[in-house]
Homo-oligomer: A and B are copies of this chain.
């Protein structure tokens, strides 16, 4: 499947607002609603659209603090790394996990209610893990931009 300019325009609009009706979408891309409907179905079937979500205000939901954690690992063999990944994946406070090259191995972005929640989490996830060589935590003062928008040409 290769995307034409209609598909790209549709994706561009949906990644900004997926509540837009197919009828309005059709107007904006100059197609009929049924054509838009079929294209969206195809884009979802082929995995171009990975999910449809509501973005919730973390401050209003009692999780005002965003933390960035750089984690260094001792033994980087596959089994060990998979172990760390699955723990990070299953921890609800952790929103994002990146495996990176450079001075550290994992970058975590997490959201907590207060620093005591973070202390408990870091104790359980980081201090008490033999294979974690060290970690550095930074508190964010401001979440200036938070999106997964892709620049679709």
Contact = CB atoms under 8 A, between A and B. Distances in A.
A61 B101 CA distance: 23
B144 A89 contact: yes
A96 B96 CA distance: 12
21 contacts: A11-B56, A15-B55, A18-B19, A47-B60, A48-B57, A52-B54, A52-B55, A53-B147, A53-B148, A61-B150, A88-B144, A88-B145, A94-B145, A95-B150, A96-B145, A96-B147, A99-B141, A99-B142, A101-B139, A111-B150, A146-B148
A150 B106 CA distance: 20
Q: In the assembly, how many copies of this chain are there? A: 2
Nearest to A142: B99
A56 B144 contact: no
Interface size class of A (residues with CB under 8 A): 35 or more
Interface of A: 3, 11, 14-19, 46-58, 60-63, 66, 68, 85, 88-89, 92-103, 107, 111, 136, 138-153
B150 A58 contact: yes
